[in-house]
Amino acid sequence: MNLRRICLAIAAAAAVAGLSAAQTAPAPPTPLMYYAGQAGRLTQDRDQLGGNPFASALVEVLKLQPATLADFTALMSAANARHSGGWQQMQFPKKLPYWRMGASSGGKRVALVLINADYSKSSGVYSLPGAAFDAKRVPKALIDAGFETMVVVDANAETVHKAMAEFALKSAEADGALIYVGGHGIQHKRVVYWMMGDYPDQDEKWLPTHAFSLDDIAKAARARNVNLILYASCRDDPFAH
């Protein structure tokens, strides 16, 4: 066998080995969805601290350094209700895996913050000063808590797609991943959507091009042990007939 054939054989073997590894790699755990409010309900843009009560809860709870995911969830639920005066009742998975959430756990943790606050390009949709405030305090709270954090604020759909693709690669190498979603949102035909700042008008036909379903956003969270999706937006349906 000449040198060229040896090189080709080695390359082919490496390709087969890589394909096999990809096929046998375990799939990331299903993302855990945390909703600031209930289906059919609005959420508050500003509480007494200046932002969404869900964001206020997150900032508060991260400072407490909860040891486990269960501790984090219980504290978030109570703080979200308190900061909203009982208006927002957090919905979350009833069955939670054990995960050491504290920074001392040693695992790599990454976060993606997606917030739209400026809706001046959208017809009939008001901008959100509370979300603009959250765009500053939420990333800082995550960074202080030990999360390697990406931030996307008032971006177009193309930029969001690129950020999600980049985050998917980052999170695949992490122990835990968290995506925070803030801005206008709806729940239409049982699908939760995050609305882009240039949503043209009050018509559901724009959902495929000017909104992201929460399920699609969640696909960017691919960490090995825990993937958290924190959705701070509304879940009412302006398109209901």
Its domain, for residue 77, covers 31-231
Residue 23 lies in a domain: no
What's the mean pLDDT in 43-70? Answer: 97
pTM given for the model: 0.89
Residue 115 lies in a domain: yes
| pLDDT tens-digit readout, 175-233 | 999 999 999 999 999 999 999 999 998 899 999 999 999 999 999 999 999 999 999 99
What's the mean pLDDT in 92-111? Answer: 88
Residue 116 lies in a domain: yes
Cα Dmax for the chain: 77
Beta strand extents in the chain (DSSP E only): 32-35, 109-115, 148-153, 176-182, 185-188, 191-195, 211-213, 226-231
Question: How many angstroms separate the Cα of 116 from the Cα of each of 66, 80, 110, 235?
Answer: 28, 20, 20, 16
CATH number of the domain encompassing residue 109: 3.40.50.1460
For the residues of 50-100, what is the DSSP string, one character each? SS-HHHHHHHHHHHT--SBHHHHHHHHHHHHHHHTTTS---B--SS----B
* pLDDT at position 104: 67
Q: What are phi and psi of 32, to 5 degrees?
A: -100, 120
> For residue 100, which of 70, 63, 140 has the smallest C-alpha distance?
70
Residue 173 lies in a domain: yes
Torsion angle in degrees (nearest 10) through CA of 171, 114, 186, 69:
50
Report the run of H or E that residue 102 belongs to, with start and end.
none
* Helix, strand, or coil (residue 149): strand
Considering the chain, what is the average pLDDT of its residues?
A: 91
Residue 138 lies in a domain: yes
Distance of CA 7 to the CA centre of its chain: 44
Question: How many angstroms separate the Cα of 160 from the Cα of each of 69, 98, 171, 182, 211?
Answer: 27, 31, 16, 13, 11
* Helix, strand, or coil (residue 219): coil
Residue 17 lies in a domain: no
Residue 238 lies in a domain: no
Residue 105 or residue 204, greater confidence: 204
pLDDT bracket for residue 11 (50, 70, 90): low
Residue 139 lies in a domain: yes
Q: How many domains does the chain have?
A: 1
pLDDT bracket for residue 25 (50, 70, 90): low
> How many CA atoms, within 13 angstroms, populate the side-chain half-sphere of residue 4?
0
> How many CA atoms, within 13 angstroms, populate the side-chain half-sphere of residue 1?
7
Question: How many angstroms separate the Cα of 114 from the Cα of each of 19, 25, 71, 150, 180?
Answer: 33, 28, 24, 9, 6
Residue 15 has pLDDT above 70, yes or no: no
Tokens of 96: 């939670």
